[in-house]
Structure 1
Amino acid sequence: MVLARTLFALLLALAVTTPAAAEPAAPDFRARGVVTGADHQHYREVPFDVPTGVERITVTLSYDKANKTVIDLGIWDPKTFRGWSGGARDRFTIGPSDASPGYLSGAIPAGRWRVTLGVPNARAGSCSAYTVSVFFDRGTARRATAAIADAPLNDAPGWYRGDLHMHDANSDGSCLSQSGKRVPCPLFRTIEAAAQAGLDFVAVTDHNTVAHLGALRELQPWFDRLLLIPGVEVTTFGGHANIFAPSHFVDFRIGSKGVPNVAALERKVAEAGAIMSINHPALPSGEACMGCGWTWPATDYAGITAIEAVNGTMAEGPLAGVGFWYARLNEGHRLTGIGGSDNHDPDAPAGKAPIGRPTTVVRAEALSTPAIIAGIRAGNVFIDVDGSRDRLLELQAISGAARAVMGETLQFVGTLELKVHVVGMTEGTIQVIANGKPDPSHQAVVTGPDEWRSFSLNRAQACGWISATVLSGGHPRLIGNPIYIRCR
């Protein structure tokens, strides 16, 4: 078991440290040349060899445009045409499940590929230097050039609001057509609804497929204020789990030769550079809801990053995931609580899990996929059950000279002060949660739109983990993540 956990930790470390926001230092292949007036309305090929085991190819082109030279861009694999973008783009990526617009996804065969440069215009006597760079994804090497969002949509640290669970026509999402018929709903409608909800990021999580990733690549440049995170709802006979930011398809068939158990699935998720969150774990299973509840025995929670504590409108009661999450925390597992609408119709009204309700609010260093994933891992996260656009819940624990926020660990020294900051609630009650139970001796009324409240906890009250929930009308509105308190 120790060896297995060590291997899993190494896989996670590789996933975390893989470059994702910066251009790699050097490409796997680079060719430089010069286009002259003699190349006007001719094609030039740049051949390169792809070794066995490459999973994705990304190509960039740069050239001197000072003399009105235009270079078109396309590519052929060893046997056939794989795409053409003309002069519309200077970068493209091709992988097994998705590719840039204008290019064909599919297997990456080893052998000689050819970047094709078309020259619709080169003035007589002109010279324009060009550089073609090719990057390979293989094993743990994952190139930033293959990211759906080229760079952070916002490079400022802050609280970012998103929805981490939704579906479209690539699985079981549906909506009304122009004539009022219920049809599989185009991904664009889902992303458009998320933008209208004022979200900063979404994860589209179709069941067991990555067919939607190519469409996300097409949509991301237009939705340049909404980060589109690739995701999959791994849907098994013993439960559902979202995986966020996988680099490739992950086999979901638990019980098969390739995926004999949940531990094998967790390893495959880590190898894909993704994180895993168990969805709606307290739902029934069997014929009532096939595979909906989490029933897999002997789950190793070291390979799980998060629990969907709130699914759609279920924030409390026996079907909510909060109790399951708290029970795992009390077993000593460190898991981030998140929420997701599980939306299947972008036109869903309030009360029917519209996109953005609930909202998962993540403290991140930037609005980028790597930063949001890192923020979920870190656990400085809260759930806005109503999906507001402005509510805030911040927690800070102080003991001795040390401080900690949600997701962090604090050593107990003598006494502990928990500070709770609530924004956007004009009425309600702050309730301190200690090891999964509300502490009736530690609660305070919220009377203004921006308030701090402090609570003093002794050793018996604080040891283990503490958090806070804000209620209004007797129902949870904001759900915080734990601060872990070490007392030995």
Structure 2
Amino acid sequence: MRSTFIFFYISINILMLFPVAAQQGIQNKTIINTPDYVLKGELTIENYQTYVEVPFEVPIDIKRLTIEVSYSGKDQRTTIDLGLEDPKKFRGWSGGSKNKITLSMEDATPGYLPGELPSGKWKLLLGVPNIRKGIVSKYEASIYLEKNSAITEFFDKPINSKEGWYRGDLHMHTGNSDGNCLSQSGQKIPCPVYRTVEAAAERGLDFIAITEHNATSHANSLRELQTAFDKMLLVAGREITTFYGHANVYGPTDFIDFRMSDSSSMQAKKWMDVVNSKGGIVSINHAGVPSGEACMGCGWQIEDLPNGTVSSVEIINGGIMKVSGSADSPFQGWKQWYKMLNSGQYVTAIGGSDNHTAESKKEIVGAIGYPTTVIFMKELSVKGMIDGIRSGRVFIDIEGKSDRFIDIFSTNGNEEAKMGEKLNITSKNEIQLTVSVEGALGASIEFIVDGALQSEMTQSIKKNKEIVKIDWQYVPGSKWIHVKIRDENGKLILVSNPIYLVKN
């Protein structure tokens, strides 16, 4: 039992190093790589069974605090426990189980309290349950201060560092907003986050984004769960829910003021610009739903947003598909997406289950992963996901069948472009299109140009793994082309993103 509560300020032994960034004031960093302070000191037998306070200053308006601690003497059984106090209260204790601590308003390392990061003198607490006589243990604490919160990752490294196609669900809810499930006694309750995460893992998804209505409270649960679910990326998204439309945001996890007084683009840009400035993206949800008492504020009413403000559109929503019975329903986001593409915007089509009941069986429309969005990522991380969506290397697997795949490739003379890329049209107007499809035997390929079906180009799929090549005569003025796959009954099962056509 540790009964000695003697606190030592060892400021004589602390060397506080201030890097250039700190000397010039805390910078608005988006990537943490250089500490703002490095606190160094030594511990000896004099510190045995004591608690050492290591003070440091936190300026105003800090959004995230991260501390990494290392120390020598472990081979001689030196042990240092970690804790933290802010200027007002005790923020947590992790003992010897962790060497890294992070806190923000929304989330914190397990064992620590999320919340406001008050300015003033903080104290890193070093408990010393064991150190041998004659041993000098040197410790170093790197302090990182983020003034402009950016993309939040819950893992210190990518879940998977390999590039490739990753499958996931970008829209779902838990009890932190309006998701529910059944308790042990069969009562409907606000569903805890872990139920949704477990269901997604059982379905073999590589990533999920939990997108609560304006709330940020799920971020702390996801940080705790990420270490346990270390094969699946957990993303704390947000469904910004206004009176004039809904949109998911991915990347930042701090509060975004969603309150709009009218449907003008100026009002919408106030929060969209915040998201984009932090490295995140905005994605319009279920744009075709009419707003009214049945779904208040659900339909998209915001017009004239500048190019680049919105990065993607949810064209297939599982909840709407469950009600309407169709991925082609006019209540889906097709009209909004095509309208933006035809106006010259490069916006990526995505899907989302909009799941509100984690217990829904996987074969039920609107269950987690139904539909699935498949993204080519450089790495499986939040940044990798966001960059993948921006790139347009994305397709929608409507039924969430893991064996289904689609990609498109084009050439025009010496010019080449993959799905999501621009194809420069040379003096020759003939374009060669290649469609790679898997898991769709007996289905047909439809080619859509500027929103219009090119029925004469429809192709049959005769193999489980098929590569279909077709020549298309480019029509001057055409802006984009994408592909739909329909099964033998005409049901839509796969959707590609466009190749953009640029006439030089």
TM-score by length of 2: 0.89
Higher-Rg structure is 2
Paired AA for residue 332 in structure 2: A
Map of 1:193 onto structure 2? 199
Matches of 1:362 and 1:131 in 2, distance apart?
A: 40
Contact 2:212–2:239, Cα closer than 8 Å, also in 1: yes
Cα 1:469–1:461 change in 2 (3 A) is farther
Map of 1:400 onto structure 2? 413
- Where 2:456 maps in the other structure, the secondary structure is strand
**In the alignment, which of 49, 53, 56 is matched to residue 64 of structure 2?**
56
Matches for 1:38-49 after TM superposition, within 5 Å: 38-49=46-57
- Where 2:341 maps in the other structure, the secondary structure is helix
* Deviation at residue 412 of structure 1 after TM alignment: 1.1
1:465 aligns with 2:465: no
Contact 2:45–2:132, Cα closer than 8 Å, also in 1: yes
Q: Give deviations 1:28-58, integer Å, cap 9, x for gaps.
A: 0111122222222111111111112211111
Contact 2:105–2:117, Cα closer than 8 Å, also in 1: yes
Q: Give deviations 1:274-308, integer Å, cap 9, x for gaps.
A: 21100000011011210111012433352100000
Map of 2:375 onto structure 1? 362
Q: Give deviations 1:403-428, integer Å, cap 9, x for gaps.
A: 11111111112111110000122220
TM-score by length of 1: 0.92
* Deviation at residue 263 of structure 1 after TM alignment: 1.6
* Deviation at residue 461 of structure 1 after TM alignment: 7.5
Cα 1:398–1:381 change in 2 (3 A) is same
1:177 aligns with 2:155: no
Paired AA for residue 366 in structure 1: E
Paired AA for residue 97 in structure 1: E
Contact 1:359–1:385, Cα closer than 8 Å, also in 2: yes
Map of 2:109 onto structure 1? 100
Q: Give deviations 1:102-139, integer Å, cap 9, x for gaps.
A: 11111111111110110111122222221111100113
Matches of 1:265 and 1:103 in 2, distance apart?
A: 29
**In the alignment, which of 341, 347, 356 is matched to residue 359 of structure 2?**
347
Contact 1:94–1:104, Cα closer than 8 Å, also in 2: yes
Map of 2:214 onto structure 1? 208
**In the alignment, which of 48, 71, 86 is matched to residue 80 of structure 2?**
71
- Where 1:113 maps in the other structure, the secondary structure is strand
1:273 aligns with 2:279: yes
Map of 1:29 onto structure 2? 37
Matches of 2:29 and 2:347 in 1, distance apart?
A: 22
Matches of 2:302 and 2:373 in 1, distance apart?
A: 26
Q: Give deviations 1:294-341, integer Å, cap 9, x for gaps.
A: 012433352100000100035112112123211221121110000000
Map of 2:332 onto structure 1? 320
* Deviation at residue 351 of structure 1 after TM alignment: 3.1
Paired AA for residue 53 in structure 2: E
Matches of 1:36 and 1:151 in 2, distance apart?
A: 34
Contact 1:247–1:274, Cα closer than 8 Å, also in 2: no
* Deviation at residue 19 of structure 1 after TM alignment: 5.1
Contact 1:361–1:382, Cα closer than 8 Å, also in 2: yes
- Where 1:193 maps in the other structure, the secondary structure is helix
Map of 2:94 onto structure 1? 85
Matches of 2:444 and 2:153 in 1, distance apart?
A: 42
Paired AA for residue 114 in structure 1: K
Matches for 1:181-330 after TM superposition, within 5 Å: 181-255=187-261, 261-312=267-318, 313=321, 314-330=326-342
Contact 1:75–1:114, Cα closer than 8 Å, also in 2: yes
* Deviation at residue 201 of structure 1 after TM alignment: 0.4
Matches of 2:260 and 2:76 in 1, distance apart?
A: 58
1:453 aligns with 2:465: no
- Where 2:224 maps in the other structure, the secondary structure is helix
* Deviation at residue 270 of structure 1 after TM alignment: 1.8
Paired AA for residue 320 in structure 1: Q
1:474 aligns with 2:490: yes
Contact 1:311–1:339, Cα closer than 8 Å, also in 2: yes
Contact 1:434–1:462, Cα closer than 8 Å, also in 2: no
Map of 2:163 onto structure 1? 157
Contact 1:163–1:360, Cα closer than 8 Å, also in 2: yes
- Where 1:112 maps in the other structure, the secondary structure is strand
Q: Give deviations 1:431-467, integer Å, cap 9, x for gaps.
A: 1111111111112111211110011111218831011
Cα 1:320–1:437 change in 2 (3 A) is same
Cα 1:196–1:325 change in 2 (3 A) is same
Contact 1:315–1:322, Cα closer than 8 Å, also in 2: no
Map of 1:119 onto structure 2? 128
Contact 1:188–1:219, Cα closer than 8 Å, also in 2: yes
Map of 1:430 onto structure 2? 445
| Structure 1 runs not aligned, ≥5 long | 1-16
* Deviation at residue 247 of structure 1 after TM alignment: 4.0
* Deviation at residue 392 of structure 1 after TM alignment: 1.0
Q: Give deviations 1:356-387, integer Å, cap 9, x for gaps.
A: 01010001111111111100011110000011
Contact 1:70–1:120, Cα closer than 8 Å, also in 2: yes
Matches of 1:386 and 1:246 in 2, distance apart?
A: 29
Map of 2:140 onto structure 1? 131
Paired AA for residue 349 in structure 2: G
Map of 1:390 onto structure 2? 403
Matches of 2:128 and 2:305 in 1, distance apart?
A: 57
1:336 aligns with 2:348: yes
1:484 aligns with 2:496: no
Paired AA for residue 273 in structure 2: R
User: Number of residue pairs matched?
Assistant: 464
Contact 1:239–1:294, Cα closer than 8 Å, also in 2: yes
| Structure 2 runs not aligned, ≥5 long | 1-27
* Deviation at residue 352 of structure 1 after TM alignment: 4.0
Matches of 1:272 and 1:247 in 2, distance apart?
A: 10
Contact 1:434–1:461, Cα closer than 8 Å, also in 2: no
* Deviation at residue 475 of structure 1 after TM alignment: 1.4
Matches of 2:266 and 2:498 in 1, distance apart?
A: 33
Contact 1:254–1:265, Cα closer than 8 Å, also in 2: no
